[in-house]
């Protein structure tokens, strides 16, 4: 008479035999260990560098228009340049004589207020983003999105922004 073994008995017997035999650890050559360590370290460094170049999951807050219209003297906006109205978080430009444009002065990268208008571009001093004064499009730096435009009307010698 033959005794039939159950699958679980076979499994447990094989486990017991494996534990009774001397264990053989997998071997890794020194060269493979160093290569793998370098790959893991390089991958970690690359991930950290790339995460510093991207946003932190939070989008920069941008104001599309001021809560109340802003009155500003048109004569204070230089032709071919502009001014940053820091208090109102607005940048007003005049790319050509009589052509006034306004944009949010909140940088679309991390939400800093733009610091100046120079060489036909609005500049953010936080991370060196640079925006075109005619379109609000980013032309240099880490910012990817354009500055939101704000309507401007001219009444006599005064700009009404918003």
Q: What is the mean pLDDT of residues 37-64?
A: 56
How far is Cα of residue 69 from the mean position of the Cα atoms in its chain?
A: 30
Question: Is residue 52 situated within a structural domain?
Answer: no
Question: Is residue 5 situated within a structural domain?
Answer: no
Question: Is residue 120 situated within a structural domain?
Answer: yes
Instruction: Write the pLDDT tens digit of every residue in 83-117.
Output: 999 999 999 999 999 999 999 999 999 899 999 99
CB 59 within 8 A of CB 145: no
The Cα angle at residue 59 between residues 105 and 68, in degrees rounded to 5: 40
Instruction: Write the pLDDT tens digit of every residue in 53-66.
Output: 444 444 444 445 66
Question: Is residue 107 situated within a structural domain?
Answer: yes
- CATH of residue 155's domain is 2.102.10.10
Q: Looking at the whole model, is its pTM more than 0.85?
A: no
Q: Count up the domains in the chain and report the number.
A: 1
Question: Is residue 20 situated within a structural domain?
Answer: no
Enclosing domain of residue 108: 70-161
Q: Is the pLDDT of residue 139 over 90?
A: yes
Question: Is residue 154 situated within a structural domain?
Answer: yes
Question: Is residue 35 situated within a structural domain?
Answer: no
Exposed, middle or buried: residue 57 (CB in 10 Å: 0-12, 13-18, 19+)?
exposed
> What is the CB neighbour count within 10 angstroms for residue 17?
9
CB 70 within 8 A of CB 160: yes
Question: Is residue 135 situated within a structural domain?
Answer: yes
């Amino acid at each position: 008479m033959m005794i039939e073994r159950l699958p679980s008995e076979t499994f447990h017997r094989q486990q017991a035999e494996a534990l009774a035999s001397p264990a053989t650890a997998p071997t890794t050559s020194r060269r493979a260990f160093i290569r793998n360590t370098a790959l893991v370290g390089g991958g970690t460094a690359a991930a950290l560098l790339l995460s510093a170049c991207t946003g932190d999951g939070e989008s920069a807050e941008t104001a599309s228009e001021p809560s109340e219209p802003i009155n500003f003297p048109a004569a204070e906006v230089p032709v071919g340049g502009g001014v940053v109205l820091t208090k109102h978080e607005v940048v007003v430009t005049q790319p050509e004589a009589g052509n006034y444009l306004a944009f949010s002065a909140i940088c679309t990268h991390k939400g800093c207020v733009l610091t100046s208008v120079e060489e036909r571009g609005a500049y953010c001093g936080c991370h060196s983003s640079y925006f075109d004064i005619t379109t609000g499009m980013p032309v240099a730096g880490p910012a990817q999105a354009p500055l939101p435009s704000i309507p401007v009307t001219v009444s006599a010698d005064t700009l009404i922004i918003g």
